[in-house]
Amino acid sequence: MSIIFRVRGLATATRLLNPFKVAVIGTGPGGFYTAHHLLNKSSPDKQIHLDFFEKLPTPFGLSRYGVAPDHPEVKNCEEFMTNIMADFKDSDRHRVRFIGNVEIGKDIKLKELEENYNAIVLAYGCTSADNKLNVRGTDSPGIISARQFVNWYNGHPDCYNTENPYKPPPLDKIEDVTIIGNGNVALDVARMLLADPKQHWHATDISVEAEELLEKSTIKNVNIVARRGILESAFSNKEIRELFELKDAKFEPLEEGLLERIATKKLGRVDKRRVSLLEKYNKPISAEEKSRRKWTLRYLLSPVEFITRDGGIKETRFVKNEPVDDPLLPGRVKPTDKFVELKNELVILSIGYQGTSIEGFEEIGIWFDDNKLHNRGGRVLSQISKGETKENLTYKKGWYTSGWIKNGPKGVIAVTMMDSFDTAQNILEDLTNGDYIKVEEGKDIIDSDVFKSLSDVIYWDDWKKLDNYEIKEGDKLGKTRYKVCNKNEMIDICK
Ligand code: FAD
Ligand code: NAP
């Protein structure tokens, strides 16, 4: 028996000397939930050295820069990352580092990662681009993407750079806004435009610049427009209820006949609830409510032209759609020969984010297209060469993916979490089977010439300085956090 123990002890010691090295690219929910599972579920004889790489100086991805400021409870997920750093930064078994302000693909090449890590998890999200509309006038001034608007009110450093800061729409000069798309992002944007800045937004971590402009807002009407019908609405019931219940804005009734046409008897629970919510709030506006801001939901309309005059957008022309009458094509619509124009001085396109590739995928043979990384259960697939068929697919050994870039730009944080656990479980399985990238022992990327040439790398302790600063300054202003938005300023505070 003692021999077995001694052999086991030796195996453990060897493992401890040669930790399993993992790089996680991106510190949004996809990245930190994968790391959480890996570190907590690895077998006791495995030691993991995990490095988080983040292109921004700050962690948390869309939890910090996407989730609406009035949803602080959603941001509680950030505790997972904070706990990982507290529990494993220098623990006996695992070691975890946050390496911020380092963009993978640019500052550090993918090939360099392959030389240093046994496993690499691509969890870099889908926030660099958005879907486009192929409609006349799309590039006119006054048509903006929801992604950029969200970045602006959430204080994303891309909008607040010194050289070329984002110019927000002139909310203090316009009255009518059209939002195209009716997903939860569209509803966040609508809430931002409709709710009272002092009562609703001031106490949150909204960017101070956004709050100041919203205080001067002259907006009166917001139309949220979808190309399909009520049952195909992309928003969730909780989010639409929140908008209905805003004290500062009034819902204008739906187009007549839309609700009445729905056969409620055949609906599932979620759809029934959706219809009953719409019925509840679909009431005429009373005389005393007439002066308030108004918003409504419009359905079965596809934009066909943005009409500009005097250098600005004045109207959007939509073709009216009708449902395709075919039980095999549920939810499909087709255009009619009828058109409608909506008056607007600002159009916000909220038609989905888009995944982009990282420089070097082709070179090392990673298969990316169609908004996402091709993968099976988070194991990244190799690019198929000309002449090869999809039956010949192989895995790109040691490369994994989690979060939105794994599945495309959809899914709430709870879904991202469960799915990231799946990726992590497959990494652990491959680790047990010896199926990982073999790297030179004792090598550490931060000793490499490339790494040493990087300036202003932000480590966890640096970020904590910024974190504490933001909370302290926020406290003085009666806000949960005062977000520092300019990257240079962030780095100065971190250092
Ligand atoms: P992200 O959160 O985008 O994280 C990716 C990280 O990778 C970022 O930090 C990014 O800076 C970093 N990165 C990118 N490129 C590189 C690179 N080359 N090198 C290093 N790092 C890189 N879900 C909810 O449950 N509730 C909500 O209220 C909610 N609100 C949302 C609001 C908006 C506007 C959006 C767009 C989404 C919202 N979601 C919400 C969905 C939720 O944000 C996602 O499920 C989740 O953030 C996806 O996580 P991720 O890690 O894949 O991507
Ligand atoms: P989304 O839910 O996919 O909604 C996209 C919307 O754009 C849909 O209405 C879609 O209509 C429309 N659209 C797409 N292409 C179009 C086109 N060419 N022309 C006209 N309309 C078009 O995306 P999202 O709103 O960006 O949200 C992304 C994810 O984040 C979702 O999973 C969402 O739930 C999550 N999120 C959650 C919260 C929250 O929980 N509070 C907040 C924000 C975001 P069709 O359906 O007809 O394609």
Q: What percent of the chain has pLDDT over 90?
A: 85
pLDDT digits 0-9 by tens, 395-429: 999 999 999 999 999 999 999 999 999 999 999 99
134 CA distance to ligand 1 middle (Å): 26
Quick one: tokens of 235?
């928003």
Which ligand has its closest atom nearest to the C-alpha of 228?
A: 2
The span from the CA of 473 to the CA of 142, in Å, is 34
Instruction: Report the top-level CATH class of 2-127+354-458.
Output: alpha beta
Which ligand has its closest atom nearest to the C-alpha of 241?
A: 2
Ligand 1 atom at shortest distance from the alpha carbon of 125: 53
Query: Is the per-residue pLDDT at 209 higher than 80?
Result: yes
pLDDT digits 0-9 by tens, 350-362: 999 999 999 999 9
Which band of pLDDT confidence, cut at 50, 70 and 90, is reported for residue 248? confident
Within 6 Å (CB) of ligand 2, which residues are found? 131, 133, 180-186, 188, 226-228, 232, 234, 239, 350-353, 409-412
Query: Is the per-residue pLDDT at 8 higher than 50?
Result: no
Query: Is the per-residue pLDDT at 77 higher than 60?
Result: yes
Query: Is the per-residue pLDDT at 14 higher than 80?
Result: no
Q: How many CB atoms sit inside 10 A of residue 83's CB?
A: 12
Element holding 29 (H helix, E strand): helix 29-41
pTM metric for this prediction: 0.95
Cβ atoms 258, 296 nearer than 8 A = no
Which ligand has its closest atom nearest to the C-alpha of 103?
A: 1
Query: Is the per-residue pLDDT at 260 higher than 90?
Result: no
Torsion sign, CA atoms 29, 450, 89, 473: negative
Q: How many CB atoms sit inside 10 A of residue 31's CB?
A: 28
Mean pLDDT along residues 86-115? 94
Pick the CATH number of 143-349 from 3.40.309.10, 3.50.50.60, 3.20.20.60, 3.40.50.300: 3.50.50.60
Within 6 Å (CB) of ligand 1, which residues are found? 25-31, 53-56, 61-62, 66-67, 71, 74, 103-105, 123-125, 127, 150, 185, 188, 353, 358, 403-404, 411-413, 416
Beta bridge partners of 376: 379
Cα–chain center distance at 261: 35
pLDDT value of residue 388:
64
pLDDT value of residue 385:
67
Task: List where CATH 3.50.50.60 sits in the chain.
Answer: 143-349
Torsion sign, CA atoms 87, 460, 208, 312: negative
Burial 251-266 (b: 16+ CB within 10 A, else e): bbebeeebeeebeeee
Task: List where CATH 3.40.50.720 sits in the chain.
Answer: 2-127+354-458
